[in-house]
Each structure stands twice: as C-alpha cells, then as structure tokens.
Structure 1
C-alpha cells in the first residue's frame, strides 16, 4: 500500500514537472496543473503565478545566449533576430542603434535589441541639456550625459532599467504593436499586472505610475522605436538627475513632461530585469515566429559592426551632446566687485550650437568703464556655454582686481 502511494506520488510529481517544463518552453501559457490519468486539475491563478515566479527566479532560462559571428548581419536570411548587448556603456549601445539603422537591410527583417546602461541621463535629439537635467549633480555622481538620435524627452538610465529597441522597415513601423508585446511579456511573469499604454505611448501601472517612456526615429526606409522599462532603478537619484537648476533660459527645444514613476519590482519581486528580458525575448520570438536564441553582441566589435568606432566617438563628443542643442537665449544676474565697489550685472546671451554667438551687459549704474564692458562682451562671444568658460571670460577682461559672485560661486583674480 505504501509503495503504491509512493509510486502514485512519484508519477504525479513527474507529471507536474513535465507541465512545468512545457511551461518553460512556452511561457505564453498562463495555467499550470496536475494530470492524473485522463483528468487535468488546474491550479488557481495565484498558485500558477507563484509557480511561474519561482521558475523564473530559480531556474536557468531555455532562451539561449550565443555570441554573434562577424557575418551575422551580412546574412541575407529573412526573418528576425534578437540581440543583447554585453556592454553597459550608454554611448556604445546608442552607437549600435545608429549602426543597425544605417547599415542593415530591414526590408524583410526585424530586430529586437536589448540593452542596459550604467547611470546616465539620455536626452532627446531636440532637447536642451541645461534645461533637462542637473549637470552639476551628474558630474559629482559620475552620471553620463548622452543625446540620442530619436526625439522625445529625457530619461534616467541605470542597471535597474532595461531598454528595448524595435527595428523594422518604415512600412512595418508600429509603436502600439510593440507596446502590446511588452505588456504581454510582462503578464507572462505577473498575469494580474495592471499595465496599459497611454496616448503618449508610455506604459503606466494602475493608470497612473509611469514605468516606460518611448521615442522613435523614422528614416527614409528604416524605423526604430525604443522604450525603457523601470524594474529596479534608483528612484531617489532619478528625479534629482532630471531636475535642472538653470534659470532664465528661453528656447523652442522639446521639453520633457514630468510624471510619477514606479519600479516593477515594487509591484512584484518576480519582475526583475532578468525575468523581464527573458519574457520579452520569448514573446518577441513567438510573435514573429523566429529563433528564440538571444545573440550577445559587443558594441565595440568592429568585425561585427564595421565603422562603429566613429559613431561611438561622435556620440560622446561635446559637439554632439551640447553642440546639437537648438539655439536658445539666457539671462543671468551676478555681481562684480571692482575697485571695492559692488556692481549688479545682467548678462544676456544668445547661444547657437552650444556656443555664445552674441551677448550684452546691462549695468544699472554704468559703473564699469565702457572699455571694460566691451572687453567683457568680446571675451564671452565665441566661448562654449558653460560656467567655467563664462567665469573665465569675465575675469580675464580685467587687468586689476576683479571678483565675480554668481549663485554663491566666487572667482577671484589678483
């Protein structure tokens, strides 16, 4: 009798694990159960969810990771491919996007690119970094600043944030289809997740908390749509890095729309970056009926991406990050102490390509000599728009004692 029960239990357990294995091979399935003979006893939704989370947390995924060969992108084979970057360098990963957009024939192919970055703020193609982020804090905390090729607003990246880029031909470009795929993937991990897409193509939880922002670049024949996904990002650093302390800037540059955010991990501990990446790769492969093997890529491998080094160099250059800022004007107030007298100064500057094109000084009491005012203006014109350059230009304009006070910063020349 005891041996008969043990055999029955063993058979039941084996059958259960068989269904778990099938579930791993087809994560789209949302119901688990135990089969005894011809009868199938489904588990409850909560039990199924618990099993799914346990599997994703404790077992190796069947999605295979392979390093792509140097001929991987030159193959004329139709269909799709899933790539995952081995780098967390924001400039390298953005360079991969550029390279695929510029070099791959996507007429009969489509690509999913999965990537994560070390702490960085990524601004849109038509944004002003002085308006969008806290450059001083970012410098102190070692947070990179990058400008992408697509439009849209500024986003904060770190290793708790996953990025997905969907590449297609221009004719097949469809943001809603991509977002619905992301939603399906998330619900394979947590079936009851209250996630939805907005009219702005964001993804929100409970209709309120943003977990994903999206942007796109549409070329002549190729298009791509990329989105972020907050899994376990640093929520204390995120708002601080995206809050500018500059005032008096007037510009027609695209401005970001602030939103309340939440991490997926706050909702369900199973929604880790790793689980989400596995679910996305599997869902993408199933939807497009392609090989679900994820191919690992080194963004700086010139054998795979010929010429990518040039793109990398451009993306981290001052000319691209700051110099591509749409023209703007800025007014700043500061004090000059000249010959023991304190002078209030208003400085008006017009900035083009990140460089001060013209400027004027407004002194209420006209205390400074005319030649000094002219020299100050001449020194500023043609300089890069940044605090160090401006302070240096103002101080260099005087041959005697001059002290500059600006927002609590003083620079003294003796």
Structure 2
C-alpha cells in the first residue's frame, strides 16, 4: 500500500488528486491524507445551489468543489483531516464501510475516544457525528473517503451549509444535517491534524506489511494541477453539473413584490416566469426571453441585467434589488 500525504491545502488540487491517482496507480492500494483550506465539497449528484449559503460562501472566499462520489455536502477547513482509501474493485461488499473506517476507530479508541460506526457510513461519538464517508467505483478501483472533524470552525460550517430549501424543487440528493462535533472536545487540546495524520499512518503501516510512503513528484503535481484547472475549478463541473431543478423566490422591495420561477437544465435557464405587483411599463415577456440560455449564476445574470433598463419592467428599482430575487 502506498501512503500519500498531500502537500497542498487547496481543495481543487486535493479532489483532483483522488481522480488522478486512479490512472496513475491502476492496481496499487493507496491511503491518501489531505487537509483543505475552507471549502465545501458537494456530492456528485447534488444540486450545489441547494446545498450552500451562496452569499456567505462568496463573502468568506470558501471554495465549492464537486467530488466524484455521491452523498451529501461537507465543510472542510484546516481543522478537518480527510482520508481516502483506494483499492482494486473486487468481490467486497461495496456497501460495507466498516473495513476502511475501522483504522480511524482503532486510533481514536486507543486515545480514549468512544467513537463508533453508526448507520451505514457515519462515525459518531456520543451520538454526534464527526466523520461522514462516501464511496465510488471507477476504472476498476474503489475509493472510500471520509472526513474527521478535529477542530473545525463550527460557526462557519453552520452558516455555509444553510440554504433556503424552499427555493428549489428537484430530485437531487439532499444532505442530512445531523448533530456534529469536533474531536478536540474528547482529545488533549493540543492535538492537531498533523498528530492525527501520524497516528493513522502508523496504524496503516502496522496493518499493511510492505506499505510505504510515496511523495507526489513534480510531474504528478503538474498533472493534478492541469486536471484541477480543466475540471475541478470550473463552473461547469461544480455548478453546471447539478441535476435539473426548478427555482423560485419572492422578495419585497420598495417598488413592489417580485416573484421569479426558473426551470434550470445543467445550470442554464430554460424557462423563466416573473410575477409581482409592481407597475411594468414594458412587457415582462421581453425580459423573460432575455433570461433564456443564461447561466443561473449571479455574476452572469448581473452582467446581463446591467445592460437592460430594469425600470421599464419593475418601476423604480436598482440592479442590486432585482439581483436578489435570483439568489
């Protein structure tokens, strides 16, 4: 087994690393560890906008990255350690998460933490979740990866993952917001993610004779950065890949009540309908038609709407006021 400690805290890079390793090491077993700077990692089949507090995420500069596996959205920061097992896909039960969560439990139990695997894929301590796990099968290999909340900023986690569920009607996988906790509440206060890395690395070495450390080469890093730039940093993957959805929102501004309904396909607006009690000088159908084919992305919509005389459709309004109804 190869043990790899990512040299980066960039979520785009680290999520790309998981995919890159499938091709780089098609038959080797791998244990990957990485820590991301503040970021939200959404499941492959999720509607990204329905999982995040977009305004807050943008204000805080939190990266949003879609991963290859299913499951729910999770928040990462420097107080969260991520682990990833890669092995050749065999006759193992794909739905069994225990084999690859057991090393984590072994380490924590030895440290006096009463951690357990509960349900299908969550690790809990005193009925509070500190680790969510997900799986995928691809290119003849299986990846199981998970989080370990050690000392994450819980206030940021809570704010970043509180979208308005009433805005979206879709069939995308929804995240389960259970009670979560930091392991630092059960460990010595000086414990760091580097300490957990060391404990887990020792555990893997002991249980996998012949395992060895592998450092990403300059060529590895260049290939990962290329994949990150072409896929994991793009709007098309992180937002546009979302399942189709219907968006609706209503706001009250000085000019009146505005309500917007959108049908969105692969991130692009296919249908738009606007309602309200404002006084429109121009036909709203004109404005609705201008929205067709636009990305459901605030900066793109801002650019489009900034070229239009909105007062003709809504009366005395500002661009910022109208933009609010599309968020």
- Scaled by the length of structure 1, the TM-score of the pair is 0.70
What is the aligned-residue RMSD (CA, Å)? 2.5
Aligned twin of 1:229: 148
* Alpha carbons 1:336, 1:405 under 8 Å: kept: no
* Alpha carbons 1:334, 1:404 under 8 Å: kept: no
Deviations 1:196-233 (A, max 9, x none): 00123110002x11110011111251110000001111
Aligned twin of 1:267: 186
Kindly state the Cα deviation for residue 368 of structure 1 after the two structures are TM-superposed. 3.0
Where 1:296 maps in the other structure, the secondary structure is: coil
**Structure 1: which 5+ residue stretches go unaligned?**
1-79
Aligned twin of 1:197: 117
In structure 2, the CA distance between the partners of 1:277 and 1:130, relative to structure 1 (3 Å rule), is same
In structure 2, the CA distance between the partners of 1:387 and 1:128, relative to structure 1 (3 Å rule), is same
* Alpha carbons 1:232, 1:263 under 8 Å: kept: yes
Task: Please show how residues 53-202 of structure 1 align to structure 2 within 5 Å.
Answer: 80-106=1-27, 109-171=28-90, 172=92, 175-188=97-110, 190=111, 192-202=112-122
Deviations 1:63-90 (A, max 9, x none): xxxxxxxxxxxxxxxxx11000111000
| C-alpha separation in 1, matches of 2:13 and 2:205 | 25
* Alpha carbons 2:42, 2:67 under 8 Å: kept: yes
Task: Report whether the alignment pairs 1:307 with 2:223.
Answer: yes
In structure 2, the CA distance between the partners of 1:283 and 1:350, relative to structure 1 (3 Å rule), is same
In structure 2, the CA distance between the partners of 1:399 and 1:304, relative to structure 1 (3 Å rule), is closer
Kindly state the Cα deviation for residue 345 of structure 1 after the two structures are TM-superposed. 3.5
Deviations 1:330-383 (A, max 9, x none): 12224688xxxx453432110011111111233568x535x6312111111111
Where 1:307 maps in the other structure, the secondary structure is: helix
* Alpha carbons 1:121, 1:145 under 8 Å: kept: yes
**Structure 2: which 5+ residue stretches go unaligned?**
none
Task: Report whether the alignment pairs 1:358 with 2:239.
Answer: no
**Residue number among 236, 240, 261 corresponding to 1:348 in the alignment:** 261
Kindly state the Cα deviation for residue 272 of structure 1 after the two structures are TM-superposed. 2.8
* Over 6 Å off, 4+ runs: none
Larger Rg: 1
| C-alpha separation in 1, matches of 2:165 and 2:119 | 30
* Alpha carbons 2:108, 2:114 under 8 Å: kept: no
Kindly state the Cα deviation for residue 248 of structure 1 after the two structures are TM-superposed. 2.2
**Bigger mean CA deviation after superposition, 385-394 or 226-235:** 385-394
* Alpha carbons 2:268, 2:296 under 8 Å: kept: yes
Aligned twin of 2:247: 330
In structure 2, the CA distance between the partners of 1:195 and 1:336, relative to structure 1 (3 Å rule), is closer
